[in-house]
Amino acid sequence: PAVVVVTPAGEEVFHRLSRDFADRLSEDEAIDVLRGLGLPPTEQAPPRPGSAAPGPKAMPIRAMSPYYRGAKFAVTAMKRRFPATGDDADRYIAQMDRYLAALSYLKD
């Protein structure tokens, strides 16, 4: 994943190219970058939801919680074995915690 922030004048003011799918900019970090621009908020129409039907390869919502918990605990175990991974592991664990919290808003 990559995040690139471009001002309305076309100037690139931030970019981050991640190493892999687990190395992502957190939502709070992205918002801080955008707030740091000091631009006024914009107005836009609310999004129109599309089809709510999952695709054929979609993970069922009921399977997401055990998946995220498993990923979290696997990384916790790896961090204990390999302490040098501490910062990366902590970011990944925090990401799984955010995903688990977001699941409370979904219904299967």
CB 3 within 8 A of CB 25: yes
29 compared with 82, residue with greater pLDDT: 82
Report the pLDDT averaged over residues 2-13: 89
Residue-level pLDDT at 107: 63
Residue-level pLDDT at 89: 93
Tokens of 69: 């918990």
CB 67 within 8 A of CB 59: yes
Half-sphere exposure of 26 (CA within 13 A, CB side): 14
Residue-level pLDDT at 65: 94
Mean of the per-residue pLDDT values of the chain: 88
pLDDT(101) > 80: yes
